[in-house]
Structures are given as structure tokens and as C-alpha cells.
Structure 1
Amino acid sequence: MKTDSVLHPLADIHSQIYEKRQQLGLKRGYLDLFKNVGIMLLIILIAFTQIFYITVSKGTDMYPAILDGDIVFGYRLDTTYLKNDVVVCNVNNKKVISRVVAKEGDSVEITKDGKLFVNGTEQTGEIAFPTKRGKQHYPYIVPKGCVYLLGDYRTHTTDSRNFGPVKKENIKAKVISIFRRRGI
């Protein structure tokens, strides 16, 4: 019985070349995998630093809509802020989550009995807490390029009544979803 090398004098070289090709194919597969994982990580990094925003709520400023410890998911690219939008902003190097109640040019009036008026219309909604007056003189006109924010827990919150209107450029994201920490 004759061996393969006797049958074909180049059989050993052929098998060595075949093994080398297999090893190179395996290396290329790993390199492609690492390249694809790197690209996916880069896309995720860009998405969550430029498009989306994730943070954890601290405090009760937005109670009962957002509770302490809830995960807040925001969208950074939408810069048109409408009444009742919830936003995450930076005020005096502190993260604030609050609700837009008035935009630039709007008139804000808070009465002594805790009623909120925007442009002369009383704002009655799902907010169960009275709105205490802030340090502004009312009626207050929201300056150009700013929004007026109020937390939902109106009697125990720090918002535009304390720190004034917020410039739109200080808004980090518009909240699009909330994940309750108890649900995770």
C-alpha cells in the first residue's frame, strides 16, 4: 500500500499550504470580528454622547411623574421645546429635570393663592400641588432664547422660580421615556 506522498510528490506541500490557509482564514475571521465589535462600540458611543441621553433621577422635584432613582431616557437632537415637555438641563453645574411651562416671550403669572397663568390662561392640568411664588416679579416675561421650568412637586422643588429662566443651550435633552427602577 502506497502513501499519499508516494502517490503525489507534492502532497506534503499541499497539506501544509492548506493548513496555512485555514490558520489565515481563522485570523481574518477574528480580525473581522474585532473590527465589527469596534464599529458597533463606536456607533453606541456616538449615539449616547450625541443623540441620546441617559441619567438617573435624583430627588422628588418631578414627583409623581418621575420618582427618585428612575432612569430617564432623553433625546438630544430635538431643540424645539413645547409646553409640558420634560427636559434635563444644567443649572449652576447641577442636573435639573423639570417641565417647560413657558417659552420665550410668554408671560408667567403665579398668584398668591398658588395658581399658575401663562399668557393670561390658567394652567390647570394633572399637577396636584399649588404653585408657590418665586423671587421674580409677576407677571414675568420669559426672555429670548430661554424657557421657564417648573417641577411637578411644586411645593418642594427647585426650578425657574429659584434660579430664573433656563437658556435653551443649557438643556441637555428632551425626556422621551422613563424606566421605573422598581421594574428592572
Structure 2
Amino acid sequence: MNRKIFLDYLGTIVLALVLSLVVRTYIADARWVPSGSMIPTINIGDRLIVEKVFKNVERGDIVVFKPTPESGLKEDLVKRVIGLPGDVICIEDGCIFINGAPLSEPYLKEQMRSDFGPYEVDNHSYFVMGDNRNESYDSRSWGVVPEENIIGKAIACYYPFQDLKVFSSK
């Protein structure tokens, strides 16, 4: 192979690696889900596309975030945003109330078995819970997630292919 062709190939490979690094660092990333805390929405072993360029976090968003020291965990977590900064969260008889109003949660498979709160969400923080409420280790146990810990929003599940889905906060 002559030198010009080799340099063309090398340049293409380097460009592809740089673009891949930029996309994964700043725009979107793929994540594997190791636990069942988001069942039935997300199952163990599902693979997600996580958008890192998001404007703001909304109630109902599924987010990937770095755990807080209080959680005692090391690996990034996937949970649903329930409470926004300033919200008062209360769980009574298996129903979540946000600022006194019941939260509609059609994505849940079963009702919660425990009560919680009232709890006021700190500024620049979010109250998160797994959809598998009775088996999820979440904000009810270790508190809120600071805004700076949020890596991105899960926007889709791309594997397994038969379970392909796009997530919405609504």
C-alpha cells in the first residue's frame, strides 16, 4: 500500500475515533441497565440511549445520574424524576402526592406498600424513584439527587430489539 492511501485511511480512523469520543462525552451515550429497579419500564439487561444535551429536567423524565455519597453506591443509576426543586413529596396509601395533588403514574405495575414524607426537595435537586417501587433503592432511602450529578436523560431503549421504545416525560 502506498503512503498516501495509508495516510488517508489513518486520517479517517483518527477522525472517526475523535468524533466518537466527542459524541459519547458531550452528546449521547449508550448504557446497560444492571438492576430491576425500573421494571416494568426498563428491564435488567436493557440498553439505553442517554441524551447528554438536555435543556431541563422534567417530572417523569428517566435520568441517568452519579449516585450521592449517602447512597453508598458507586455505579451510575437509572431512575424516574418524581420531584422537582421546591416540591413537597408525600406518599400515603401507595399514592404519591406532589404539593398536595396526586401524581398519575400509568407506568407502574403495582402499588407501593409504604408511606413516606412529607419531604421538601432542595433547590437544584431532584427526587427520583424506580418504577419498581417496592424493590427500588432510591430517594426515599438516600435523599435527593443534586442537579450536577445528572448525566443525561434516557431517551430510548434500543436493545433487546423486540422491546424497542422511546421514552417521554409525559
TM-score, length of structure 1 as denominator length: 0.79
Q: Which one is further off, 62-71 or 117-126?
A: 117-126
The answer for the alignment partner of 1:120 in structure 2 is: 100
1:69 aligned residue (45, 48, 54): 45
Q: Which structure would you say has the larger Rg?
A: 1
In the alignment of these two chains, the number of paired residues is 156
For residues 142 and 110 of structure 2, the distance between their equivalents in structure 1, rounded to whole angstroms, comes to: 20
For residues 116 and 66 of structure 1, the distance between their equivalents in structure 2, rounded to whole angstroms, comes to: 21
Answer whether contact 1:129 1:152 (CA < 8 A) is retained: no
Secondary structure of the residue aligned to 1:43 is helix
Secondary structure of the residue aligned to 1:155 is helix
Answer whether contact 1:74 1:177 (CA < 8 A) is retained: yes
Q: Which amino acid aligns with 1:171?
A: I
Which blocks of at least 5 consecutive residues in structure 2 are unaligned? 68-72, 164-170
C-alpha RMSD of the superposition:
1.8
Matched, 1:96 2:72: no
The answer for the alignment partner of 2:152 in structure 1 is: 173
Matched, 1:27 2:9: no
The answer for the alignment partner of 1:105 in structure 2 is: 86
Q: Which one is further off, 73-82 or 98-107?
A: 73-82
The answer for the alignment partner of 1:16 in structure 2 is: none
The answer for the alignment partner of 1:19 in structure 2 is: none
For residues 105 and 22 of structure 2, the distance between their equivalents in structure 1, rounded to whole angstroms, comes to: 37
Question: Using a 3 Å threshold, how does the CA distance of structure 1 residues 145 and 39 change in structure 2: closer, same or farther?
Answer: same
Q: Which amino acid aligns with 2:115?
A: R
Q: Which amino acid aligns with 2:137?
A: T
Q: Which amino acid aligns with 1:133?
A: D
For residues 118 and 53 of structure 1, the distance between their equivalents in structure 2, rounded to whole angstroms, comes to: 31
Q: Which amino acid aligns with 1:125?
A: E
Greater fraction of residues in strand: 2
2:115 aligned residue (127, 133, 138): 133
Identity value in percent: 26
Secondary structure of the residue aligned to 1:48 is helix
Alpha-carbon distance, 1:94 to partner: 2.8
Q: Which amino acid aligns with 1:48?
A: R
1:81-139 deviation line (CA, Å, top 9, x unaligned): 0010000111142321100011100111111x1110011111122123223335xxx22
Greater fraction of residues in helix: 1
